[in-house]
Amino acid sequence: MDTEKIKSTALNGLVNNPIFVLVLGTCPMLAKTTQLESAFWLGIATLVVLVASNVLISIMRNIIPQKVRIPCYIIIVATLVTVVDLFLQKFTPAIYKEIGAFVMLIVVNCIILARAESFASSNSVGYSFLDGLSMGLGYLVALSILGAIRELLSTGCIYGIQVLGDWFPRFTIFSKTAGGFIMLGLLMALFNYIYSSVLNRRKTQTKLLKAD
Amino acid sequence: MKNLLKSTAVLTCIAVASVIILATCNYFWKVDKTIIGIPEELRLKLESLTESTAFSEIDTDGITFTGKVLAVYRATDGIQSGALIMYTESEITYGIVRMLTAFDKTDDKILGVCEYNSEQKTTFYTSHFNAKAYAVFKGADASVINAKTIESADSISGATHTAGAMAASVSAAAANYTANKAALIAAPVKSNDLLRLVISQVLEEIKPDILARFEAVVKSNDAKVVDIDDNSKFTVAFKVTLDGAEVAVETQWDSVKKVYYIEFRAAGGNYVITAEAASKDNMHKASDQIAFEVVGYDVKAMNAIKSIYPQTKEIYEIYTDTVNRFKYYVTGEGNLVASAYGIRIEADGVGYVGTLTAFVAVNTANNTAVGVGAAYYADGNDVYPVDNAFLSKFKNAPIVKSQKITSDTMTNATATGQMLVNAVMKFTDYYIDHANKAMFDSASLTLNERLSLFEAGGCGIGVKNGDYYELLNGTQAGPALAQALSRLG
């Protein structure tokens, strides 16, 4: 196993975060990050589908003809999404009631097809699993951060639990789509600022090492 | 070409695998969304007690509760699927409190408690209905509920009476849950007025001697709990009883009309048709019943023959000799019974009070009477029936000419008793003098065999109608009938 590749694949979800860097899957992100609970569970559902689809597509990458790869990927992803949808419907009806419509929309989430096409179709099962996990976690964490902040600012709660008292003014705009865009923009700026700062620091350290 | 075939094959394989996976998941994780009928307000309360969103009321028929259990609900989805919620009521001096208590069937802990509603008899204690100490019971073990706990816990309103009533309700719920857990888990979903049975044929037109074809329509009502129109998801079983005894029926489902046809031989008596619908998973059950009496039939003759052959469920009048005033009946089991009808009963000093018909069945093996039954027909005055003990005197009695039986001294129905003796004597004379014994020799035949015999004899009594024989009453076909029967003997 290539240690460097494992490391880069594992960090892919952070370095190429689907939300803050690649800006993929923004539609469900805007709609379902008004509360941490729905954001978290949508992230979990996406994570499961992403990991499973990456693994399956990687397993079948040598069997699937090039010309029909996209229909094949879509069938696989749609099947997995339907399985997740049925599972949530059966075992977590309260959560399903919250995010049900957006679970089915995972089929058309760009991240899934993008990872299938760009990674799983040309990498081994292990790497594909790691990539799915990494990207899925990146998506889950991004959704959760957005959901937590938007819920806190608009209601004073996190995961339905009152955190801020009545003294805190409720910024209901953050429960709206416009507030979602604003918060996404702010977080993207923050993320990229931190990321570029880290990169710059590393570059500086590398230069210093070379100078030594 | 090769690539095209490969692409098609791969796509097809993936599609088939997907279908199999989805079908399997759908089978095991299918969510029953057909349960409707719980009021929204109640459903919201039930939702607040559990993590489920769908509930159904269960049928508690046959389960004995202590205290007032108004209903029991079952959660049908989510991780707490199967949780039971008891709806109980307690009364206090100034009102009634109704509580909902949810139990987790896996560990018997209380999932939640809430008040569903309450009624106050007086406004004096309005504030006392503010007790809200539900949290006291949450997580408690159903078997160790202490009704007094909640009273001290209700420090919010000080509504001790209400709190006490709530505690009593929860205690009753816990006690009943503990005592009946297994039965409650196994109980089917309750359904009120779920099925409707309609008998399309006018009952008065149903004759005992024709084949009756009922059209039983099974429909759901407005509060639709099950999709009864989809016959593949349901089975509907019909049970028909005649005077309590089950009758064999044939059932057919008309998928176009959404109608069940049930077919059976109609005879006189009280019918009860029960339809029971059950889902394939046997979790949803519903039943409905319709009762009616078939009229236009001589129930008295039926009862008299039943006193001889108790297993009789149907009788057919097959031959009438209007000159000598005799009739012959055949039972569904093929037994032949003769009757001497229209025997006038006159009591001393009273004059004519009615008529009597005596029914006699003969055992041709030893020429004895299997038994004698009697039917009485009053005409303006009461006819005093003879006691059964008197009738039993004829049982196994030898068939001899001018047979005499002692009068009925037990019930003192002397005139009736005497007329009965005369009627039996009339029959025995007729039986011996007219050498009509051949008619009884075929007593061991089944109904259809006997009817076939009539048809073969050309007497015109039996008319084949599909798989059954339709009989015509009162046909003057004595000689032909006797001839046909004698051929058998």
Quick check: B350 pLDDT over 70? no
User: What pLDDT does residue B451 have?
Assistant: 58
Name B273's bridge partners: B240, B290
Residues in chain B closer than 8 A to A53 (CB atoms) = none
Distance, C-alpha B173 to centroid of its chain: 32
Q: Does B78 touch chain A (CB under 8 A)?
A: yes
CB A72 to CB B11 under 8 A? yes
Chain B nearest-CA residue for A96 = B78
Residue with more model confidence, A77 or B353? A77
Residues in chain A closer than 8 A to B79 (CB atoms) = 91-92
Task: For residue A10, name the pLDDT band (cuts at 50, 70, 90).
Answer: confident
The proportion of chain A whose per-residue pLDDT surpasses 90, expressed as a percent, equals 25
User: What pLDDT does residue B486 have?
Assistant: 46
Of B10, B15, B29, the CB nearest to A64: B10
Name B347's bridge partners: B351
Minimum distance, in Å, between the CA of residue A16 and any CA atom of chain B: 31
Task: For residue B475, name the pLDDT band (cuts at 50, 70, 90).
Answer: very low
- For chain B, the average pLDDT equals 71
Return the closest-CA partner of residue B161 out of B135, B136, B124.
Answer: B124
Residues in chain A closer than 8 A to B7 (CB atoms) = 65, 67-68
CB A67 to CB B14 under 8 A? no
User: pLDDT, tens digit, for every residue of A137-166?
Assistant: 999 999 999 999 998 888 888 887 788 877
Residue with more model confidence, B442 or B121? B121
User: What pLDDT does residue B84 have?
Assistant: 92
User: pLDDT, tens digit, for every residue of B237-271?
Assistant: 888 888 888 888 878 777 776 677 777 766 666 78
Q: Does B30 touch chain A (CB under 8 A)?
A: yes
With a threshold of 0.90, tell me whether the complex ipTM lies above it.
no
Rounded to whole angstroms, the maximal C-alpha distance in chain B is: 113
Max mean pLDDT among B93-107, B182-196, B262-276 falls in: B93-107
Residues in chain B closer than 8 A to A87 (CB atoms) = 25, 29
Q: Does B51 touch chain A (CB under 8 A)?
A: yes
CB B7 to CB A67 under 8 A? yes
User: What pLDDT does residue A43 have?
Assistant: 92
User: What pLDDT does residue B143 have?
Assistant: 65
Contacts of B19 (CB under 8 A, 6+ apart): none
Q: Does A62 touch chain B (CB under 8 A)?
A: no
Return the closest-CA partner of residue A153 out of A145, A192, A94, A24.
Answer: A145
User: pLDDT, tens digit, for every residue of B409-465?
Assistant: 666 777 888 888 888 888 887 777 654 455 555 545 666 666 555 544 433 333 333
Minimum distance, in Å, between the CA of residue B1 and any CA atom of chain A: 13
Residues in chain B closer than 8 A to A92 (CB atoms) = 78-79
User: pLDDT, tens digit, for every residue of B2-18?
Assistant: 778 888 888 899 999 99
Q: Cβ(A125)–Cβ(B109) under 8 Å?
A: no
List the Cα angle B142/B146/B148 in 5-degree steps: 145
CB B30 to CB A93 under 8 A? no
User: pLDDT, tens digit, for every residue of B31-71?
Assistant: 655 444 567 778 788 888 888 877 888 888 788 888 888 88
Quick check: B138 pLDDT over 90? no
Buried b (16+ CB within 10 A) or exposed e, B262-297: bbbbbbbbebbbbbebbbeeebbbbbbeeeeebeeb
Return the closest-CA partner of residue B231 out of B250, B251, B247, B211.
Answer: B251
What gap in Å lies between CA B303 and CA B465, rounded to an integer? 27
Q: Does B198 touch chain A (CB under 8 A)?
A: no
Quick check: B387 pLDDT over 70? yes
Quick check: A109 pLDDT over 80? yes
Ranking A5-9, B106-110, B366-370, B475-479 by mean pLDDT, the lowest is: B475-479
What gap in Å lies between CA A122 and CA A114, rounded to an integer? 12
Chain B nearest-CA residue for A75 = B15
Q: Residue B54 burial by CB count (10 A; 0-12/13-18/19+): exposed, middle or buried?
A: buried
Chain A nearest-CA residue for B31 = A90
User: pLDDT, tens digit, for every residue of B154-190?
Assistant: 444 555 666 777 777 888 888 888 888 888 888 877 6
User: What pLDDT does residue B4 have?
Assistant: 82
Minimum distance, in Å, between the CA of residue A13 and any CA atom of chain B: 28
Q: Does B412 touch chain A (CB under 8 A)?
A: no
CB A65 to CB B6 under 8 A? yes
